[in-house]
Amino acid sequence: MISVQVNASSAYPVHIGAGLLDQTGGLAAQAVKSRRCAVVTDSTVGPLYAGRVCASLEKAGFSTLLYTFPAGEQNKNITTYSKILEFFAQNRLTRSDCVAALGGGVTGDMAGFAAATYQRGVDYIQLPTTFLAASDSSVGGKTAVDLEAGKNLAGAFWQPKMVICDTDTFSTLSTETFADGVAETVKHALIKDREFLDFLMPADLRQSIPQVVRRNVEIKAAVVGEDEFERGTRKFLNFGHTLGHAIEKCSSYRVTHGHAVAIGMVLATRAAERLGYSPAGTLDTVIKANQRFGLPIECPYTAQALYDAASGDKKRDGGSIDVVVLEEIGKAKTVRLDMDGLRAFTEAAL
Ligand SMILES: NC(=O)c1ccc[n+]([C@@H]2O[C@H](COP(=O)([O-])OP(=O)(O)OC[C@H]3O[C@@H](n4cnc5c(N)ncnc54)[C@H](O)[C@@H]3O)[C@@H](O)[C@H]2O)c1
Ligand SMILES: [Zn+2]
């Protein structure tokens, strides 16, 4: 088992290893005081893994409740969120109980937001089962649901007490869902670690999962440790996300998050090169990385459609928005744009 410490306002460990779901109970008992746990999962992950998680928790002395919602980003909304809260209330969950989010980023974000807000906050642990959730979303305490107006528009910062990543769970991921995690991995390398990119490019990722998850978590932990509430450098993690979120929204969430981010990184870098924020050759590296891992590079939407979707993004601050660009490979910076600047950026992206 590999363990990485996250030093946010509350410190917590991320445990990474094969077969860890069967140790959930013993590990969770070290992280939370409660002995009653509401496991929240989705309709795909539940039948595969919830039985093992509940059995492990019960063996360690927890009583368990299980809530399963229909899988998919289109269900990461207020309706599902409110059903989770009602389930907690009907089962008389209290602030001394805890929540376990078992699944991908959709489950982690939504169960985390329910934990953050139910009775003003209960402890929770993250049990990521996608490569994306393990490498990115389960760490750092951003929780949210989507609104009609856009992605993640209602949410809270609420750090988990522990993250347990059983890398064996990735064996049941589709190629597409695995690739979603690769997109965030490439993002981490592009914004923060050129050597990591050099490692990734020739690697067989499925054979290097523990090392890759570990490096992702180390990068994320460093960024979160420095700027937990995204006042500055944490914004770099949004590389590819302003236009990526716009693509997700334009597709009614049929384009998955990682795939949208992959295209978003290409678009942002094309615009950045054309507008002089990134040196020549940067776009070529981003495109090659996407192609190497079977990630898309073409945007199916017009600049106007992207602008309309992106101008409602929550990263918009008054009349301006921060977009992330690459100063060089392995180093990011933000550029503040007004709405005309965002329009020009979006036009230069295509
Ligand atoms: N909070 C953050 O910091 C942060 C960071 C990045 C992404 N996100 C969010 O994460 C979400 C995307 O996460 P995701 O890609 O994990 O999506 P997801 O949770 O929808 O999972 C993708 C699909 O894989 C299925 N699945 C999950 N684990 C499985 C397994 N082991 N075997 C078989 N199927 C499995 C799910 O049921 C789902 O159908 C987006 O909503 C995005 O906004 C949040
Ligand atoms: Zn993301």
pLDDT tens digits along 164-186:
999 999 999 999 999 999 999 99
What are the residue boundaries of the structural domains of the chain, listed by start? 2-172, 175-349
Q: Which ligand lies nearest the alpha carbon of 260?
A: 2
DSSP annotation of 236 reads: G
Mean pLDDT over the full length of the chain = 96
Distance 43 CA to ligand 1 centre (A): 12
Please give the pLDDT value at position 318. 74
Residues linked to residue 337 through DSSP beta bridges, in sequence order: 321
Instruction: Give the HSE-up count for residue 350: Cα atoms under 13 Å, Cβ half-sphere.
Output: 16
Domain 2-172 shares a fold with domain 175-349: no
Residue 72 beta carbon below 6 angstroms from any ligand 1 atom: yes
Atom of ligand 1 nearest to the CA of 144: 1
Name the burial class of residue 6, with classes exposed (0-12), middle (13-18) and buried (19+) by CB atoms within 10 angstroms of its CB: buried
Which secondary structure element, helix H or strand E, spans residue 249, and what is its range? helix 241-250
- Provide the token pair at 223: 């960024």
Q: Is the CB of 77 under 6 A from ligand 1?
A: no
Residue identifier of the C-alpha nearest atom 18 of ligand 1: 104
Is the beta carbon of 109 within 6 A of some atom in ligand 1? Answer: yes
106 lines ligand 1 (CB under 6 A): yes
Closest to 159 (Cα-Cα) out of 103, 115, 105: 115
Location of structure tokens 């490692």:
199
- How many CB atoms sit inside 10 A of residue 242's CB? 27
Which whole-number Å values give the CA distances from 80 to 48, 144, 149, in the listed order?
21, 12, 17
**pTM (2 decimals)?**
0.96
> What pLDDT digit, counting tens, does each position of 255-291 carry?
999 999 999 999 999 999 999 999 999 999 999 999 9
Residue 152 Cα: closest atom of ligand 1: 43
Q: Is 50 helix (H, G, I), strand (E, B) or coil?
A: helix
Helix H or strand E segment including 244: helix 241-250
Q: Name beta bridge partners: 335.
A: 323
Q: Which amino acids are annotated catalytic?
A: 120, 142, 184, 220, 230, 234, 238, 241, 245, 257
Ligand sitting nearest the alpha carbon of 184: 2
Q: Helical H runs in 16-166? A: 24-31, 45, 51-59, 78-90, 105-117, 131-132
Ligand 1 within 6 A of CB of 107? yes
Q: What is the pLDDT of residues 75-129, one digit of tens each?
A: 999 999 999 999 999 999 999 999 999 999 999 999 999 999 999 999 999 999 9
pLDDT at 162 over 70: yes
The listed CATH number (3.30.1360.10, 1.10.3720.10, 3.40.50.1970, 3.40.50.1370) that belongs to domain 2-172: 3.40.50.1970
Q: Tell me the C-alpha distance between 234 and 2, whole Å.
A: 24
Question: May I ask the CATH class of domain 175-349?
Answer: mainly alpha
Alpha-carbon distance of 166 to 310, in angstroms, equals 35
Decide whether any atom of ligand 1 lies within 6 Å of the 132 Cβ: yes
Ligand 1 centroid to residue 107 C-alpha, Å: 7
CA of 277 to the centre of ligand 1 (A): 32
Contacts 24+ apart (CB under 8 A), 195-200: 195/330, 197/285, 197/289, 197/329, 197/330, 200/289
| DSSP 8-state assignment for residue 155 | E
Distance from the Cα of residue 280 to its chain's centroid: 30
Per-residue DSSP letter, 145: E
Q: What percent of the chain has a predicted confidence (pLDDT) above 90?
A: 97
